[in-house]
A = this chain, B = another copy of it.
């Protein structure tokens, strides 16, 4: 029996090369526009703001986006936005810029504080039109009801989940990803792959969401290496953007699991980028989850080009190794030692990741403290025994 499902979706999704121009259509009648963009795409943000003014709109641009933003970083940029009183917010960038834009759009009126929003359905409403433009392939945040902030005191990432965070329009123009450096392409691409794998193998997986998850896995496995090695290949960039969009569409209804929960302390305590943390942990968590989702991992393996000529467990193991090889070929660190994480941190990280119950509860195999310690240890050494 197909289980019930709730989808919160953007009213419009614009996908494809050249689609940034559709932003004007989606702004509609809104005249005062706050544009928040990653520093790495500042020239694009500037061009957009200038064009807004040419079109008779009032635009205010901010590029004050820091990676893995804290509550304090949000406050800074929120104040900039509040002093301008925009009717519309455009968030341009990777997850950090888009998440901040989403949070600003709901915090603008000043009736709620950011810390009040943490958790599920705590947001009371939204006062501004919200448009996201993704510049990585990637986060998928352009279509999700989720924004993540770093709690610098607790050294942990915290999620805000609300339908009010879903943008009115999500614009995914792969052209914006063409100039991404290989390391960013690799880390964000493997993050997107993780979204798809963790959605498909999720305890709350759903057949309608599986369609996106499997298509995302297929596209990313087939195109990531080319996008990393030869970033100007539009075809690979377009396919990666579609894979990332598919991953993003999975995040609202099903979301991620242990890889993301275990990546949070790496980001919160050691400022490892979200993409790298997920990319590094993915094969180790897959190894741990294998007994709980052998058939599904075997299906993923076939999408990685593994022949189905052996029992599912063997096929699944080959798939995990293929993902590990992809990770290596893309230049992602293969162990936590390389990231200068101290071995002594493992215990506290394991305690910390278990607090991310929202995601841990989704994992196909329950993760105990000992399990988490063991997975981090393997990741520390880089030993994959599949």
Contact = CB atoms under 8 A, between A and B. Distances in A.
Contacts of A4: 14-19
Interface stretch (A5-13, A66-74, A332-340): A5-13
Contacts of A2: 15-16, 238-239, 242
Interface stretch (A35-43, A105-113, A184-192, A206-214): A206-214
Given A207-B215, A211-B211, A242-B208, A235 B1 contact: yes
A3 interface: yes
A4 B21 CA distance: 13
Contacts of A8: 11-12
A317 interface: no
A6 B2 CA distance: 28
A166 interface: yes
Contacts of A63: none
A274 interface: no
A272 to B, nearest CB: 31
* Residue of A17, A19, A211, A215 with highest tally of chain B CB at under 10 A: A211
Consensus secondary structure, chain A interface: mixed
Contact of A12 (B9, B16, B211): B9
A163 interface: yes
A341 interface: no
A234 interface: yes
A140 to B, nearest CB: 14
Counting contact residues on chain A (CB < 8 A from B), the size range is: 20 to 34
Given A208-B242, A211-B211, A242-B207, A6 B14 contact: yes
Interface string A220-261: 000000000000001100110010011000000000000000
A238 B1 contact: yes
B19 A163 contact: no
A7 B245 CA distance: 12
Nearest to A249: B208
A5 B16 contact: yes
A145 B364 CA distance: 38
A9 B11 contact: yes
B1 A234 contact: yes
A165 to B, nearest CB: 12
Contacts of A18: 4
Contacts of A6: 12-15, 22
A15 B5 CA distance: 5
A212 B215 contact: no
A4 B171 CA distance: 11
Contacts of A10: 9, 11
Contacts of A166: 11
A226 to B, nearest CB: 13
Nearest to A5: B15
Contacts of A239: 2
B215 A211 contact: yes
**Ordered nearest first, which 5 A-B pairs have the shortest CB separation?**
A4-B16, A211-B211, A9-B9, A7-B13, A5-B15
29 contacts: A1-B234, A1-B238, A2-B16, A2-B238, A2-B239, A4-B15, A4-B17, A5-B13, A5-B14, A5-B15, A5-B16, A6-B13, A6-B14, A6-B15, A6-B22, A7-B12, A7-B15, A9-B10, A9-B13, A10-B11, A11-B163, A11-B166, A12-B163, A15-B208, A207-B215, A208-B215, A208-B245, A208-B246, A211-B211
Given A9-B9, A10-B11, 8 more contacts: A1-B234, A5-B14, A6-B14, A7-B15, A12-B163, A207-B215, A208-B245, A211-B211
Interface of A: 1-19, 22, 163, 166, 207-208, 211-212, 215, 234-235, 238-239, 242, 245-246
